[in-house]
Amino acid sequence: MPHPVRIAPSILSADFARLGEEVRALDAAGADWMHLDIMDGHFVPNISFGPSIVKALRPHTTKPFDVHLMISPIDAYLDAFADAGADTITVHPEAGPHIHRSLQRIKALGKRAGVVLNPGTPAKMLDYLLDTVDLVLVMSVNPGFGGQHFIDGQLKKIAAIRKMIDASGRAIDLEVDGGIDADSARRCIEAGADALVAGTAVFRGGPDSYAANIAALRGG
Q: How confident is the model at residue 59 (pLDDT cuts 50, 70, 90)?
A: very high
Between CA 54 and CA 133 the distance in angstroms is 22
CA distances from residue 180 to 41, 104, 164 in whole angstroms, order as listed: 23, 30, 23
User: Which of 151, 152, 156, 157 minimizes the C-alpha distance to 137?
Assistant: 157
Quick check: 151 pLDDT over 50?
yes
pLDDT at residue 1 in the model: 43
Q: What would the mean pLDDT of 91-104 be, rounded to a whole number?
A: 96
Give whole-number Cα distances, 130 to 10, 96, 116, 144, in Å. Answer: 25, 18, 12, 25
1 or 97, higher pLDDT? 97
Q: Strand pairing partners for 37? A: 68
Local confidence band at 143 (pLDDT 50, 70, 90 cut-offs): confident
Q: Given this model, what pLDDT does residue 44 score? A: 92
The residues annotated with a catalytic role in the active site are 37, 177
Residue 3 has pLDDT above 70, yes or no: no
Q: Rounded to 5 degrees, what angle do the CA atoms 194, 147, 55 make?
A: 70
What confidence score (pLDDT) does residue 142 get? Answer: 86
User: Do 26 and 215 contact (CB within 8 A), yes or no?
Assistant: no
Check residue 150 and report its DSSP letter: P
107: number of Cβ within 10 Å: 14
Q: Is 58 helix (H, G, I), strand (E, B) or coil?
A: helix
Residue 11: what pLDDT? 96
Compute the mean pLDDT over every residue in the chain, rounded to the nearest whole number: 95
- Residue 118, pLDDT above cutoff 50: yes
Residue range 146-153: average pLDDT? 83
DSSP class per residue in 76-89: GGHHHHHHHT-SEE
pLDDT at residue 126 in the model: 97
